[in-house]
Amino acid sequence: MLLGMKSALAIVLGVVLCALSAPKAQRDDSWAQWRGPDGLGVASGTSYPSEWAPDQNIAWKTAVAGRGHSSPIVWRGRVFLTTSIEGGAAPVGHQAPVHPDFNFKPGYLHPDSVGVDRLYALKVMAFDATDGRMLWDRTVFDGPMYDNRHRKNTYASSTMAADGDAVYAFFESAGLYAFDLDGTLLWKKSLGGIAKAGMGPGTSPVIFEDLLILQCDQEMGEGSFIVALARKDGREIWRQARTTRRSWATPLIVRTASRVEMVTAGAEMVVAYDPRTGRELWKANGTESHPIPSAVAGNGLVFLSAGSSAKRVLAIRLGGDGDLTNSPAIVWRYRKGAAYVPSPILRGPYLYLMSDNGLITCIEAATGKVMYEGGRPPVPATFTASLTSFGDVLLATSEDGDTFVIKAGPVHEILRTNPIGEPVYASVALAGGRIYIRGEQHLFAITAGK
């Protein structure tokens, strides 16, 4: 009898431990961070509209002032978004920091750097997910910016994150802000000036347990760091210095069979950390180009890419220790197809890359075998938004506002083209059976059969 009770207790204890160590369940009605559930760009549900137009299947359309490339996030019946509104001239004498070039010589100025000579209001907004009504609007910063931005970029390009009863908005040099769901400011924090060659912000915050983690790579590596803050009050919990130069990729939290790894892209090196402590777990050679695309992972591998100059894609086996650069943990490399901006996506056995002009490459993720490359959109286009997916289709949204519905699988097939009627630069969000698209002037909610 006692033996039976011990066995039963062991079974119950095992179930509890498994539940505690399992990944947090994803809500079908939420898209709570950059690239949604687990940061992979894949909706947790499958019942989403696959056809829309300006006069078809639009549940609602709400005007959004200013400019921003941050994606909408959806949490507890609300849609959250950031924006930047240009104002008058900055004070006389206000200048951007001096940037080093690739030879570390000061005085680098990109020809498309703009913005530091103007004032900007940075806002956090909340909308009702049901009907698009603005619920609240908070200006968190109003003044001159620390640095320039690329003329195509904005000062509101980092996507928010949400969990529990709070949402978090990161504007890099202009600060980090935590709000409750009704718009009350909980806390704010400055991480100092973050300079990226006058190209502007882009990295988004990630949430892990009670931590908010921010990757702050800048310039040619001097001053780069990654930091974890307490979500409750913004206290710094840990910080690690980094030597990698400026990047715009967002860290990816991956749960393996034995531990949790946080993978960070870098031109000089890829580094995985323990997100609880900041301890380095492993590192490998980097993406060479400045990483703007974020990593994706699955089936024991993580995939990183960059294409700002050289096109580079890496597949690295998770779970390693130390320097993996010349080890079998580097499963394969590919030197074409990588984008300057859009992030790739992993569906089933295949990794899909999309170039900035919309060319799709499909790779067998486990082996690096190319299934097809050069899959073209039906019309010439440019892409800033990253690939997203639901069911057995991929969604590729162009700057013209056309979303191409592509069949997942080893053969390239475009099923449909869905226009929204205005330019789109932000990646789309999928939650609760609706697709949310942030256009140049409006936020759209798309639903089936409307």
* Rg, C-alpha atoms of the chain: 22
pLDDT band at 27 (very low <50, low <70, confident <90, very high): low
Cα separations in angstroms, 64 against 80, 123, 263, 401, 408: 12, 11, 34, 16, 33
Find the length of the chain. Answer: 450
Distance, in Å, from the CA atom of 350 to the CA atom of 356, rounded to the nearest integer, reads: 20
Give the pLDDT score at 309: 87
CB 207 within 8 Å of CB 221: no
Query: By C-alpha distance, which of 289, 189, 290, 285 is closest to 239?
Result: 189
Who contacts 271 (Cβ-Cβ below 8 Å, separation ≥6)? Answer: 242, 244, 263, 264, 280, 282, 283
Residue type, position 208, single letter: F
| CA 22 remoteness from chain centre | 23
pLDDT tens sequence across 360-385: 999 999 999 999 999 999 999 999 99
Give the pLDDT score at 324: 98
DSSP single-letter state for residue 4: H
Query: In this structure, how many other beta carbons lie within 10 angstroms of the beta carbon of residue 384?
Result: 22
Give the pLDDT score at 207: 98
The percentage of residues in the chain with a pLDDT greater than 70, rounded to a whole number, is: 94
| CA 147 remoteness from chain centre | 22
pLDDT tens sequence across 83-106: 999 999 999 999 999 999 999 999
pLDDT tens sequence across 392-405: 999 999 999 999 99
The token duo for 379 is: 């019309």
Query: In this structure, how many other beta carbons lie within 10 angstroms of the beta carbon of residue 141?
Result: 18
pTM of the full structure: 0.93
Cα separations in angstroms, 385 against 41, 78, 292, 339, 381: 11, 22, 12, 11, 12
pLDDT tens sequence across 315-369: 999 999 999 999 999 999 999 999 999 999 999 999 999 999 999 999 999 999 9
Give mean pLDDT, residues 131-149.
98
pLDDT tens sequence across 202-242: 999 999 999 999 999 999 999 999 999 999 999 999 999 99
Query: In this structure, how many other beta carbons lie within 10 angstroms of the beta carbon of residue 142?
Result: 13
CB 447 within 8 Å of CB 433: yes
Give the pLDDT score at 41: 98
φ and ψ of 359, to 5 deg: -75, 125
Give the pLDDT score at 450: 60
User: Is pLDDT at 22 greater than 90 in this prediction?
Assistant: no
User: Is pLDDT at 36 greater than 90 in this prediction?
Assistant: yes
User: Is pLDDT at 3 greater than 50 in this prediction?
Assistant: no
What is the rounded end-to-end Cα distance, in angstroms, of the chain?
62
Distance, in Å, from the CA atom of 380 to the CA atom of 59, rounded to the nearest integer, reads: 29
Q: Which domains does the chain have, with CATH numbers?
A: 28-446 (2.130.10.10)
DSSP single-letter state for residue 203: -
pLDDT tens sequence across 257-272: 999 999 999 999 999 9
Who contacts 51 (Cβ-Cβ below 8 Å, separation ≥6)? Answer: 57, 405, 416, 418
pLDDT tens sequence across 271-300: 999 999 999 999 999 999 999 999 999 999
The residue whose two tokens read 């053969």 is 411
The residue whose two tokens read 């069979």 is 257
Sign of the dihedral defined by the CA atoms of residues 412, 403, 29, 440, in that order = positive
Q: Can you spell out the DSSP letters for 339-374?
A: -SS---EEETTEEEEE-TT--EEEEETTT--EEEEE
